Amino acid sequence: GEDVEQSLFLSVREGDSSVINCTYTDSSSTYLYWYKQEPGAGLQLLTYIFSNMDMKQDQRLTVLLNKKDKHLSLRIADTQTGDSAIYFCAESPSNSGYALNFGKGTSLLVTP
Amino acid sequence: DAGVIQSPRHEVTEMGQEVTLRCKPISGHDYLFWYRQTMMRGLELLIYFNNNVPIDDSGMPEDRFSAKMPNASFSTLKIQPSEPRDSAVYFCASSFQGSNQPQHFGDGTRLSIL
């Protein structure tokens, strides 16, 4: 199938904002997800957005959705060193049952 | 609340051996998913169950892989015989009423086949 695209790396300074971008493939995906993976750990659900929304804010996290361009972004305000991890974007394509289609992940490095 | 529990966390074995990975989903969840994560291919869905019944196993690589869910609180993924290319992190996830509901992941089993 087609790939969910994410940039591989992002480096920011502590206190700055981070923006992680994702291009998904299936415009019929009802929900789009962001997961976080720390070294040696599983995937932690960070947030998700319903496809009829443009924006969702949850504390330091802001998700923006552009359905026309099939573009999803995750903004982390006041990024901390503890935010260093791999961030995965995922869609739920209509032709894949209940499977999630993940991007390859963006490695976020936060430097002091 | 307990999350998805996987065991073992790490498994190192020689090629040709049988490997069994175990998963306990979140209580009350009716969907269970097995994923494999590698550097080259990222996260791939292997199989998923609904109410203990396998629904889609098209991601299972080959006949050496099999998965079962004998009851609502337990699933296994078995590889027999194992090969070095099976080395990966295997994740189990569960969700409630699967469709468009978030999947919750376990911490994974890191499998190394020598």
B93 neighbourhood in chain A, CB within 8 Å = 43
- The string of pLDDT tens digits covering residues B12-43 is 999 999 999 999 999 999 999 999 999 888 89
Q: Give the C-alpha separation, A43 to A40, whole Å.
A: 10
Residue A4: CB atoms within 10 Å: 25
- Closest partner CB to A42 (pick from B45, B56, B91): B91
Q: Give the C-alpha separation, A58 to A56, whole Å.
A: 7
- CA of A111 vs chain B CAs: smallest distance (Å): 24
> Is the CB of B107 less than 8 angstroms away from the CB of A92?
no
Q: Give the C-alpha separation, B55 to A3, whole Å.
A: 23
B110 neighbors B10 (Cβ within 8 angstroms): yes
Q: Report the mean per-residue pLDDT for chain A.
A: 91
> Is the CB of B42 less than 8 angstroms away from the CB of A35?
no
- At residue A24, the 3 state secondary structure works out as coil
B105 neighbors A44 (Cβ within 8 angstroms): yes
- Closest partner CB to A98 (pick from B31, B104, B107): B31
> Is the CB of B105 less than 8 angstroms away from the CB of A31?
no
Give the model's pLDDT for residue A97: 64
Classify burial at B103, counting beta carbons within 10 Å of its beta carbon; exposed 0-12, middle 13-18, buried 19 or more.
buried
A102 neighbourhood in chain B, CB within 8 Å = 42-43
- At residue B85, the 3 state secondary structure works out as helix
- Whether residue A108 is predicted with pLDDT greater than 90 in this model: the reply is yes
- The string of pLDDT tens digits covering residues A54-97 is 999 999 999 999 999 999 999 999 999 999 999 999 998 766 66
Instruction: Report chain A's C-alpha Rg in angstroms.
Output: 13
- CA of A59 vs chain B CAs: smallest distance (Å): 19
**Chain centre distance of CA A83:** 13
A43 neighbourhood in chain B, CB within 8 Å = 43, 91, 93, 105
For residue A65, give the H/E element and its range.
strand A61-66
- Closest partner CB to B100 (pick from A30, A42, A104): A30
